[in-house]
Amino acid sequence: MARRLNSKDKNFAAEFEALLFARREVEEDVAGAVKGIVADVRARGDAALIELTNKFDRANVTLESLRLCADEIAEAAITAAQGAAIEIAAARIEAYHQRQLPADDSFTDDTGATLGWRWTAVDSAGLYVPGGTASYPSSVLMNAIPARVAGVKRIVMVTPASGGTINPLVLAAARRAGISEIYRIGGAQAVAALAYGTKTIAPVDKIVGPGNAWVAAAKREVFGQVGIDSIAGPSEILVIADNSNNPDWIAADLLSQAEHDASSQSILITDDAAFADKVADAAGRALAKLPRKDIAGKSWNDYGGIIVVEKLTDAAALSDRFAPEHLEIATTDPQSLLKLVRHAGAIFLGKHTPEAMGDYIAGPNHVLPTSRAARFSSGLSVLDFMKRTTLLSLDARAMAALGPDAIALADAEGLQAHANSIAARLNQK
């Protein structure tokens, strides 16, 4: 049973802190082993990559079969309904992310200096796609389409052929996203190959995509050599709901994240204790019917929470403390609460907007900050595949106006060569 809290209780502050900072995931101590794997791939290239892939993924990969051929991608068999769903999702994701493209700008100030910036895409991006039970075609679309919209010319996908096979839905999603360079490799060795390159695989500029503790540790290890998106933790959902909701709907929303992982966290905040009881009962009934009831049940019982507050406006401050990956505001007037909330990875407004729609087909990205990182970071976007370059152009009049003050600052810092490079222009006839 999820923990029950009431803001009127004397010990509420301590109980809330315990729920907020519950240690939900004990990281595997893999940093040392990952460091060795990365070094091995850097030293031995393809040979290490193939050896490690066959060892960890129980695959029979050879140098010749490392990269999927065009026919393997084209022939990935899915149903017509699955194909239609992928197409609708891809079109919506693309349309949403097109609107994120930033504009270049340039202006001239009163000294005559022309200033501005321009945006350009990274040349290449590597997309890590988990294999096995955590194989999500939706993540292929969410990672690859923003890169394509940003203008990334080369997108490389790596995914482990666990037991020798790759989920055809993953290949179909990659095909729709325009990815033609796909390698059947996974784990830390795949991240190392993307970062440093081998004879077969050219290195990339940025690596994105979810993975296990080994993948996360490898991304930490190679950061700086390449860019990375983030180090993702267990999934989270916080639902603020009033008693006008159907409790079965709210229970379903809470369990939608609980079924991801036993370390996921689902929280309900409401101002009605009787409604809280109904949601708790509904969650118990729904859990018993879930195929992943063992995972969802452990998540709900170990880390789930139901908080009753005096008034719904109190929920906004509590939500900001959690800074949840996903926030649902399922109230009669969600816009009024939205104005009070500052920190969330993604927000879903109204009773007919379950978070699961955002996972698949609505359009916004489902790659979001976890573990309270929404306090300082955002979800994946087109901007993650672009960089901003500043532009400056000065004429003689602008140099005359600005140069003396720049020299004064250079002198104050003791950097004579800096001052000299400015002074030389001021002395020109």
On whether both 89 and 194 belong to a single domain, the answer is yes
Inside any domain, residue 67: yes
Q: Do 336 and 221 belong to one domain?
A: no
Per-residue model confidence (pLDDT) at position 165: 83
Distance, in Å, from the CA atom of 353 to the CA atom of 82, rounded to the nearest integer, reads 22
pLDDT of residue 26: 60
Task: Supply the mean pLDDT for the chain.
Answer: 94
CA dist 331 → 67, 141, 245, 310, 328 (Å) = 50, 31, 8, 15, 9
The residues annotated with a catalytic role in the active site are 325-326
Structural domain tally of the chain? 3
What is the per-residue pLDDT across 252-303, written as a single tens digit (0 to 9) for each?
999 999 999 899 999 999 999 999 999 999 999 999 999 999 999 999 999 9
Residue 343 sits in a domain whose CATH number is 3.40.50.1980
3-state secondary structure 257-316: HHCCCCCCEEEEEECCHHHHHHHHHHHHHHHHHCCCHHHHHHHHHHHCEEEECCCCHHHH
Asked if residue 259 is part of any domain, the answer here is yes
**Cα(362)–Cα(364) distance, rounded to whole angstroms?**
6
**According to the model, what pLDDT value does residue 23 have?**
77
Q: Give the domain-ending residue among 228, 254, 287.
A: 228
For 288: left if phi > 0, alpha if psi spans -120 to 50, otherwise beta; the answer is: alpha
pLDDT value of position 212:
86
Residues 94, 65 share a domain = yes
- At 238, the amino acid letter reads L
- The residue from 362, 385, 416 where one domain ends is 362
**pLDDT at site 28:** 66
**CB-based contact 276:4 (threshold 8 Å):** yes
Distance CA(37)–CA(40), nearest Å, equals 5
User: Which domain-ending residue is among 316, 346, 362?
Assistant: 362
119: which residues sit within 8 A by CB, 6+ positions away?
101, 102, 103, 104, 386, 387, 388, 389
Tell me the residue range of the domain where 245 lies.
3-24+233-362
Q: Do residues 291 and 251 share a domain?
A: yes
Question: Over the Cα atoms of the chain, what is R_g?
Answer: 26
pLDDT less than 50: residues of the chain: 429
Same domain (yes/no): 266, 412: no
CA-closest candidate to residue 156, choices 202, 196, 115, 114? 202
- CA neighbours within 13 Å on the CB side: how many for 415? 10
For the segment 96-126, what is each residue's pLDDT rounded down to a tens digit? 999 999 999 999 999 999 999 999 999 999 9
Does the residue 380 lie in any domain? Answer: no
Same domain? For 66 and 210 the reply is yes
